[in-house]
Amino acid sequence: MTRILVAGYQHETNTFAPSLADWAAFTRGDSFPEFTRGAAMVERLRGINIPVAGFLDAARSFGWECVPSCWAGAIPSSYVTKDAFERIAATICEDVKAACAQAGGLDAIYLDLHGAAVAEHAADSEGELLGRLRAIVGPKLPIVASLDLHANVTRRMLAEADAMVSYRTYPHVDMAETGARAAELLKRRLHAGRREPMHSRRVPYLIPLNAQSTWLQPAQGIYEELAALDRRYGTLLSFCPGFPASDFAECAPMVWGHGHDEPRTREAVEALYARAAEPTQWRQDILPARDAVARAMALAEHSDRPVVVADTQDNPGAGGDSNTTGMLHALLAQGAGRRYPGQVALGLMFDADAARTACDAGVGATLDLALGRAVPTFTGQPSDPPVQGRFTVRAVSNGRVTIKGPMMTGLSVALGPSACLEIDGVQIAVVSGKKQLMDRELLRMVGIQAEQQRIIVAKSSNHFRADFTPIASHVLVAKAAGPMAAEPSDLPWRHLPPEIRRAP
């Protein structure tokens, strides 16, 4: 029986963000399942829309035996600490050695990787992990990985792994599907008995996060082209627009693919590169906070569905702490809640003190609070001050909820004491755990019905689109002070070569 060791390491590192990903962050998981190991890992991860679950299902259908090692994911933030990386890498390496020594040995390794994890001591931490595994198993044993669409794919990763494949959607609704595609790639690799030809091309500039959504052009058309090329050439192509806030030498988009023969693989990759690398198509329209609120209020006047505004620079899915107040100040200054009382909502605001105080006080209580934080940002200036004022507790919750929208469907999250606080007609979903507002259930748990709002401010860059676009009349993107630069060229890069730093 074919025996495959299965492990996962997921982190998206915004090296400009305020908080580190330490071992505690991996044991909590927050946006992800918590650290899990051995047989329990399979039970915990099955049925969730994440790559490893899709791989495990496909492996079962192929009759493979999976040897679960560990799965470690932490919410996007600044560097992975040396301690956290070394614990995770050591666990996987030890499990690989043990599996190789067992009767039956090991036939391959599958890794569920993000691809944009920067550790304190290893800038290309996935390349480092792959390199250590390669050193243990030697050149012949296949290692295959799936990657996030935001992976910053390095030369070392491409050299150490036999094959890699990335998501094709943003919001990432095809995570499990990508795991299954990795299983398909591994099956091809095992069948061929050697590495398939691979060709890659790096795109020489950064693509802003907000411009990458596959719900919009140009990305939608590029991924359609990718699928068409795969059909025509028999390849498995990937295009990662990358995560443009990881300050290391190889932060950049990448196009690559695996195929049956070298010339056709090269031709397919070059065709996709030509389509993806045209720079002017990636320019974007982002509004300052004040203008975004004014525009949302004007649009809401004539809309019977919510206007959704992305507070992209505080996206906790990109290293923000989900606690800045620029958008809330702008809503209050322009009287959005007085214009539409109880129909303006903002979330998720990560403020454990406020959430706890609200839960203790109970529904109906009024509280004098300072909500949110001024956090360090990439400009060198802190973000806006907390919102000081009198809030009314509209609802409280234990913060336990199951995701129902298309992203991470089925994932249970526990955000701790949570509440809906209202000030001047604006409702704020306040939580004790960091989580990107990617699903309407995260508002519903504190009594906010997204469908009934006029304006929703979502602390998210693109993932909100999967569950919110279907109910939205308009989607705007706002740029309030926060840790994640909407324009990569705004960041104070140090390690990335200057020619890559420029905007498209």
List of residues contacting Zn ion (CB under 5 A): 148, 150
Residue (150 or 199) nearer to Zn ion, CB: 150
Cβ proximity of 406 and 384 under 8 Å: no
Q: What's the closest the beta carbon of residue 75 comes to Zn ion, in angstroms?
A: 12
Q: What's the closest the beta carbon of residue 452 comes to Zn ion, in angstroms?
A: 30
Residue (13 or 235) nearer to Zn ion, CB: 13
Residue (150 or 454) nearer to Zn ion, CB: 150
Residue (93 or 216) nearer to Zn ion, CB: 216
Q: What's the closest the beta carbon of residue 210 comes to Zn ion, in angstroms?
A: 13
Residue (141 or 164) nearer to Zn ion, CB: 164
Residue with smallest beta-carbon separation from Zn ion:
150
Cα separation, 73 vs 95, in Å, equals: 18
Q: What's the closest the beta carbon of residue 148 comes to Zn ion, in angstroms?
A: 4
Cα separation, 211 vs 215, in Å, equals: 10
CA-based nearest residue to 475, from 299, 321, 275, 323: 299
Q: What's the closest the beta carbon of residue 17 comes to Zn ion, in angstroms?
A: 15
Cβ proximity of 78 and 14 under 8 Å: yes
Residue (148 or 384) nearer to Zn ion, CB: 148
Structure tokens at 238: 């990937």
Cα separation, 116 vs 148, in Å, equals: 8
Q: What's the closest the beta carbon of residue 486 comes to Zn ion, in angstroms?
A: 16
Please name every residue paired with 397 in a beta bridge, in sequence order, or none if there are none: 418
Cβ proximity of 383 and 375 under 8 Å: yes
Q: What's the closest the beta carbon of residue 60 comes to Zn ion, in angstroms?
A: 26
Q: β-pairing, 198-202 with 254-258?
A: antiparallel
Cα separation, 72 vs 281, in Å, equals: 36
Q: What's the closest the beta carbon of residue 325 comes to Zn ion, in angstroms?
A: 26
Residue (214 or 343) nearer to Zn ion, CB: 214
Cβ proximity of 224 and 232 under 8 Å: no
Residue (113 or 430) nearer to Zn ion, CB: 113
Structure tokens at 146: 């799936």
Cβ proximity of 157 and 166 under 8 Å: no
Q: What's the closest the beta carbon of residue 342 comes to Zn ion, in angstroms?
A: 34
Residue (313 or 397) nearer to Zn ion, CB: 313
SS3 of residue 174 by DSSP: coil
Residues 443-447: contacts with CB under 8 Å, at least 24 apart: 443/345, 443/347, 444/401, 445/397, 445/399, 445/400, 445/401, 445/418, 446/394, 446/395, 446/396, 446/397, 446/418, 446/419, 446/420, 447/394, 447/395, 447/397, 447/420
Cα separation, 145 vs 110, in Å, equals: 6
Q: What's the closest the beta carbon of residue 76 comes to Zn ion, in angstroms?
A: 8
Residue (150 or 168) nearer to Zn ion, CB: 150
Within 10 angstroms of residue 264's Cβ, the number of other Cβ atoms is 17
Q: What are phi and psi of 69, to 5 degrees?
A: -100, -95
Residue (14 or 325) nearer to Zn ion, CB: 14
Cα separation, 504 vs 501, in Å, equals: 9
Q: What's the closest the beta carbon of residue 243 comes to Zn ion, in angstroms?
A: 7
